[in-house]
Structure 1
């Protein structure tokens, strides 16, 4: 990006952004005293771990100047400046990085912050979540266009199609017996234990892994209740690695009300996968489906 100084040639876009910052009372956030920026240089802020993975997969990571806290993979993404949690962004934090493009998922927010960023002249692209393989393919296309890597996006789409076909074939070959009933528990905070119903990324992953969601009476995520867990009678309890750790491991999870009275509790069938791998629907989706199905099959044989 370029230094703001009286001697520098006026940049109409910079002027518009400064005007918007004044309107929102954010001029203090406007970066100054920074190196000059080439006119065509990209400065991308990625809000959403799966989107960040796509940027890296397209080899556009040199253009990244900031990411959110869910951008944990690859590990080098964690070395980039953070704009905080995707759902609680601040205008100041994003503007301080002087981005030329913000790429975000539908989970990003709050909406007022995204509106303020747009008003400050920052292009903000909010991509549909669409927790299906087809949604991943579409996001790769969009990110390829936004980062100027359309040809690499096409190549990545083709590779993902091949990996997906292989993963699905693996699931079909491994299938043995009736589908396992799996309860997905979101337990990243001790005081907020949720279970996944329909219309969730967890539900979609279970379907791809040839398993059944033990909860089908509601959509989205709702607080865990003993009555619902006992009625669901899951064969397996599924968490993220982070959630399992936060809950105190397998022993801690099985202490949650109702879980001890289920087949999963009796046989201590608790499995976990890394959060963004399992729920992110990024470029690792084929590997995630294979890993989840293998883990479920192994647990059912235990």
Structure 2
């Protein structure tokens, strides 16, 4: 049986070096069988598994899978962008489902070559992305009915949140700072943070570039954000709220005068998972309150 292949055989097969090895009978059709052993890479994907009640299928998750609390107690396969074929295949998964940024690509190709079903979910930083995650996980785990129910609930929540955002009289000028490690960066166009600010009814003051970049004190002053947004993990990495406000470049912003800072847990804030309606609602109300 496939489960009896040694680790060395797995890796030889995955790398294409073991041409003399033959797959166990029926292994090529394993992708069509109900999944019994699942690995998820990407916190939002893992959240969906728990939301659908399919967590008994999980044999491991990645290190970004922090919610719900039970996900912290699952075996970990490392960071989703730095996976290894040996680590994944040693867990004998039937399927690996992940966020679009999971990789490296060569590792996932090796895993596919070993007969494991691998599905990555396209990201466009939208509510539609959330629904794709729900649909994909529901299909792979055999929880299509539960997935449909969850999608219906999320659509209703989303409609309510979007109605509330649309009725707001102000669009705060916001700046998202990413500071989980290294020097703080600010979020430009094309990022999850940019999309989140827009969905929550704010104007991202950084429009001149895409991605995340350092922002000089002069540019910070010119951007003139009314409110700053960061994750709770990012603030902790900078030494806490007091240390954050001691950064000299922040003193040049309108946000500094009123200490207008909104913090939320990173996986909820940027995960684009089933908590997105709640995240947008909280961010919207907190930004309005901080800039009142």
TM-score normalised by the chain length of structure 1 = 0.86
In the alignment, the residues of structure 1 paired with residue 119 and residue 149 of structure 2 have an alpha-carbon distance, to the nearest angstrom, of: 22
2:177 to 180, 185, 194: 185
Segments ≥4 residues shifted beyond 6 Å: none
In the alignment, the residues of structure 1 paired with residue 179 and residue 17 of structure 2 have an alpha-carbon distance, to the nearest angstrom, of: 37
Q: In structure 2, the residue corresponding to 1:88 is in which secondary structure?
A: coil
Partner of 1:126: 120
Partner of 2:57: 63
Q: In structure 2, the residue corresponding to 1:258 is in which secondary structure?
A: helix
Partner deviation per Cα, 1:230-260 (whole Å, 9 max, x = no partner): 1111111100010011112222222334211
Partner of 2:228: 237
Question: Unpaired runs of 5+ in structure 2?
Answer: 19-32
In the alignment, the residues of structure 2 paired with residue 257 and residue 109 of structure 1 have an alpha-carbon distance, to the nearest angstrom, of: 37
1:144/1:153 contact within 8 Å kept: yes
Q: 1:41: how far off? A: 5.1
Q: 1:17: how far off? A: 4.9
Call closer, same or farther: CA 1:18–1:215 in 2, change over 3 Å.
closer
2:156 to 162, 170, 174: 162
Call closer, same or farther: CA 1:51–1:24 in 2, change over 3 Å.
farther
Partner of 2:165: 171
Pair 1:146 & 2:137 matched: no
In the alignment, the residues of structure 2 paired with residue 213 and residue 114 of structure 1 have an alpha-carbon distance, to the nearest angstrom, of: 35
Q: In structure 2, the residue corresponding to 1:136 is in which secondary structure?
A: helix
Partner deviation per Cα, 1:202-252 (whole Å, 9 max, x = no partner): 111111111110111011111232222111111111000100111122222
- Provide the aligned C-alpha RMSD in A: 2.3
Partner of 1:282: 273
Q: In structure 1, the residue corresponding to 2:4 is in which secondary structure?
A: coil
2:177/2:228 contact within 8 Å kept: yes
1:250/1:268 contact within 8 Å kept: no
1:44/1:66 contact within 8 Å kept: yes
Question: Unpaired runs of 5+ in structure 1?
Answer: 6-13, 26-38
TM-score normalised by the chain length of structure 2 = 0.88
Partner of 2:99: 105
Pair 1:251 & 2:242 matched: yes
Pair 1:20 & 2:7 matched: no
Q: 1:18: how far off? A: 6.6
In the alignment, the residues of structure 1 paired with residue 51 and residue 17 of structure 2 have an alpha-carbon distance, to the nearest angstrom, of: 36
Call closer, same or farther: CA 1:22–1:87 in 2, change over 3 Å.
closer
2:189/2:209 contact within 8 Å kept: yes
Partner of 2:190: 199
2:11/2:86 contact within 8 Å kept: no
Q: How does 1:214-233 map to 2 (within 5 A)?
A: 214-233=205-224
Q: How many aligned residue pairs are there?
A: 278
Pair 1:116 & 2:110 matched: yes
Q: 1:40: how far off? A: 4.7
Q: 1:134: how far off? A: 1.4
